Structure 1
Amino acid sequence: MSEGISAWQLVASGDATLFAIVRLSLAVSLSAVAIAVVVGLPLGAVLALTRFPGRSALIVILNGFMGLPPVVVGLAVYLLLSRSGPLGELGLLFTPAAMVVAQALLVLPIIAALTRQTIEDLWREYRDELTAMGVGPTGRVATLLWDSRFSLITALLAGFGRAAAEVGTVMIVGGNIDGFTRTMTTTIALETSKGNLPLAMGLGLVLIGLIMAINAAAWGVRLWSEQRAG
């Protein structure tokens, strides 16, 4: 009970250490989601609208990667960015940039796979109209992505949830360095093991609050769009 009260006091007082960790976590997760969106949305749309040999296998692989073990991704990025790795000269290992790369690789399959399903369903409704209008492949992708933008919010939320909740991947490539690469989830794990429950619980409350707030905002945007359409 006393730990819970202390956690609330930390959050309410605007503890500098706590909110520095929150800022870093948000910067890393939002950057990773942004990268995954830039790549995943068009990738999913193209996969939904084109037919080619091996497409079914690619879809199966993409869907399978949605459940990719985070520690495997972390290990792969670690090997790429280590001094003996092909990208070791960049010096990105144990930096926030490495964490962004790792989280983006985790989020990308989720956004691409959900986008493919959404666009494929919408294409069945729009196919005749867009074909009759002579809209080319690029125009189809752009049109369907725009018209499904509110439905795709679900994909973005799923990606952000995966990124924000990640522990193993960011710990492997970020090193959990105090004041530099320590995120909410890695701090919660560390401080719990040390017995510092107020800080761990305070960060847990902030993390839950952020996810709930983002979901509520997305839900509000979707309701607003449906009301306008109606």
Structure 2
Amino acid sequence: MTSIWDGIQEAFELILHWNPEIAGIAGLSLAVSGAATLLAAALMIPLTLLIYLRGGWLREWTTRLSYILMGVPSVIVGLLVVLVISGNGPLGALGLMYTPQAMVIAQFFLILPVVCALTMTIIRREGRSILRLAKTSGANNGQIIRLLIRELTPEMTATVMTAFSRAIAEVGTVMIVGGNIRHSTRVMTTAISMYTSMGHQSLSIALGIILFVMTLAINLVVLLIQGESQWK
């Protein structure tokens, strides 16, 4: 019990003094997950809205497929990315393996179905009245998509933050494609796993506290946004 308490005390000291090792790991985590989330949102939100407007079988199958892919184990996503970017893969010549760029790619594909499924849910629940008004006024698909994004900004923001929370908490995918290399591809989740197995309690606890605070803050903001939208 004493060693655990000592580890917690040392962890808070590391955080308060902003240990360079911890700062670098936390910074890389934010950069990788942030880039993957922004790319996924920029591509998938407008595309999902366009698919919804097209309707028919494409909309139904996209919705079903997105929910199915949300349940795919993250290590499978990492494995598929490795097969593409490794030396023998189609993109092997680019030298992406064990780089932050590879981690961004892996997290990008991991959260694509999350963004798609949540966006579909938002339109079905909140966007139908906006769609009726836009179609009545004779707006084209591009104008309708811009209108939906503008009118549903709080809900879309919650979607993006949920996807970011999923990305930054990921272990398996980034471990496979990144390799957990110090000062290069080591992020909070992979570092916590490694430091815990090595018995470095203070470092793993410090990173765990930072990751917990980040995800808690994101989830609280999402809840606040959803609560405000329900009271409109």
1:201 to 195, 200, 205: 205
- Supply the AA of the counterpart residue of 1:192: T
1:119 matches 2:158: no
**Distance in 2, Cα, partners of 1:162 & 1:37:** 13
CA shift, 1:122, in A, is 3.1
- Supply the AA of the counterpart residue of 1:134: G
**Distance in 2, Cα, partners of 1:133 & 1:94:** 51
1:88 matches 2:92: yes
Partner residue in 1 for 2:145: 141
**Distance in 2, Cα, partners of 1:115 & 1:131:** 20
Report matched runs for 1:1-230 at 5 Å. 1-217=5-221
**Distance in 1, Cα, partners of 2:230 & 2:127:** 20
> Structure 1 residues 159, 134: closer, same or farther in 2, change over 3 A?
same
- Supply the AA of the counterpart residue of 2:202: P
CA shift, 1:121, in A, is 2.8
1:125-176 Cα deviation digits (max 9, x unpaired): 1233212210011111111111011012221122011101100100100011
Q: Which runs of 5+ in 1 are unaligned?
A: none
- Supply the AA of the counterpart residue of 1:152: M
1:62-82 Cα deviation digits (max 9, x unpaired): 111112210000000001001
Given that 1:44 and 1:114 are in contact with CA atoms closer than 8 Å, whether structure 2 keeps it comes out as: no
Kindly, what percent of the aligned residue pairs are identical? 36
- Supply the AA of the counterpart residue of 2:177: V
Give the aligned CA root-mean-square deviation in angstroms: 1.9
Under a length normalisation based on structure 1, what TM-score does the superposition of the two structures give? Answer: 0.92
CA shift, 1:199, in A, is 0.1
Under a length normalisation based on structure 2, what TM-score does the superposition of the two structures give? Answer: 0.91
* Range 205-214 or range 171-180, more displaced: 205-214
- Supply the AA of the counterpart residue of 1:164: I
CA shift, 1:58, in A, is 2.6
SS at match of 2:204: helix
**Distance in 2, Cα, partners of 1:85 & 1:36:** 23
Aligned residues: 228
**Distance in 2, Cα, partners of 1:84 & 1:4:** 45
- Supply the AA of the counterpart residue of 2:124: E
Given that 1:119 and 1:145 are in contact with CA atoms closer than 8 Å, whether structure 2 keeps it comes out as: no
